[in-house]
Amino acid sequence: MNETMRKKLSPELLEMIEQHRVPDPVSVIIQTDDGLQDVDRQMLDNIGGKLVDDLWIIKGYSAKIPARALEMVVLPGRVTLVHLDGDVSA
């Protein structure tokens, strides 16, 4: 795993990778400097991913991507964080 992945992936995703438990496809939330852009839609098409929702309020989007594509998703400099998407409970 490269340093960029360690900096941009959430602790949950890092743990799943280390334990070889990443589902395929994996549901993620990708936060960027400037929210969902056409370049993101193109990247998702290129990696075989699917846009789920535009999360403009947090400058991001949710997507289902192939597990092997996690390395590609973190490469753009405008991507700030990639979180595992799932149910939230309090």
Q: Rounded to two decimals, what is the model's pTM?
A: 0.93
Distance CA 90, CA 79 (A): 28
Report CA 44 to chain centroid distance, whole Å.
10
Distance CA 83, CA 55 (A): 13
Torsion of CA 44, 33, 35, 77, to 10 degrees: -10
Give the pLDDT score at 87.
73
Report CA 40 to chain centroid distance, whole Å.
11
Tens-binned pLDDT, residue by residue, of the chain (90 aa): 789 899 999 999 999 999 999 999 999 999 999 999 999 999 999 999 999 999 999 999 999 999 999 999 999 999 999 999 987 666
